[in-house]
Amino acid sequence: MVNQYREDTERDVWCLVDAGRLLSAPVGDRTRLDAALDALAAVAAVADVVGDRVGAVVFDREVTRVVRPRRASAAGLVRSLDDLEPLVVDSDYDAAFGRVGQAKRSLVVVFTDVLDGAASAPLLDALPVLCRRHAVVVAGVIDPDLVDAVTAEPTSTRDLHAASVAADLLAERDAVRARLTAAGAVVVDAPVDHLASICVAAYLRLKSRARL
C-alpha cells in the first residue's frame, strides 16, 4: 500500500459586503457599494484563476445573502449580487462575522468603510474574533474630497476651515486603520479607481506568504 499526499493549495475566499449606510455614500458617479462590488468581482476572478473557492456574505442590519464558496464561480457570484442596493441603516458586523467565524481558515475580505472612531466602533469590536481564525482584509474607498481639501492650495478662509476639518477626519481614519492593523487585519484604504487592484494584490500577497 502506497499513500500519496498532495499539498492543499486551494483555499476559501469569503467576501463580506457591507450594504449598510456607510457604503451608501457617493464617491464620484457611484456609491461606495458599487466600488466594493467591482473590487469583489476582481478578487473573485483571480480566485478562479488560482483555483481558490469564492463565496460571499451580504449584510446590513442583518445578513441578507449567503453564497457558499465554490470553485470557478466568479461569474455566477457577481450576477447574484448585481441587484444589491445599500440601505441607510447601521450594519451588524457581529451577525456577518458569525456566518464565517467557525469556518475553516480562509481569506475574508470585508468590504466596508473606515470613517471615524465612532462609526467604526462596531467593526473594531467584532473584528478580533474573525482575525483569530482567518486572514482578514478590510477594504474601503478613501474619500477624494477629503484628500483634495487637504492638498489643494487654499484661496479663502472657507478653504482653510475645510482643510482643517478634512485633516481631522483623515487623522481619525488613520487612527482607525492603526487599530484594525493592531487587531490583525490588513487594511486597504484606496482611491476608488485602485480599490480592485489593491485588493487583488493584498489577496495574492497573503496567499504567497502562506497566511491562507
pLDDT in tens, 165-208: 889 988 999 999 999 999 999 999 999 999 999 999 999 999 98
Question: What's the confidence (pLDDT) of residue 193?
Answer: 94
Largest CA distance in the chain: 82
Residue 4 pLDDT exceeds 50: no
> For the purposes of burial, counting CB atoms within 10 Å of the CB of 49, is it exposed (0-12), middle (13-18) or buried (19 or more)?
exposed
4 assigned to some structural domain:
no
Residue 19: which pLDDT band, with cuts at 50, 70 and 90?
A: very high
Domain count, the chain: 1
Residue 112, C-alpha cell as written in the block: 466596508
Distance from the Cα of residue 61 to its chain's centroid: 17
- Note down the domain range covering 70: 12-208
Q: Calculate mean pLDDT across residues 4-30.
A: 83
Question: What's the confidence (pLDDT) of residue 124?
Answer: 95
| CATH number, domain with residue 29 | 3.40.50.410
Residue 18, C-alpha cell as written in the block: 457591507
198 assigned to some structural domain:
yes
pTM: 0.91
135 assigned to some structural domain:
yes
3 assigned to some structural domain:
no
Question: What's the confidence (pLDDT) of residue 119?
Answer: 85
Residue 202, C-alpha cell as written in the block: 493584498
42 assigned to some structural domain:
yes
Question: What's the confidence (pLDDT) of residue 6?
Answer: 41
Question: What's the confidence (pLDDT) of residue 59?
Answer: 98
193 assigned to some structural domain:
yes
Q: Calculate mean pLDDT across residues 73-96.
A: 96
7 assigned to some structural domain:
no
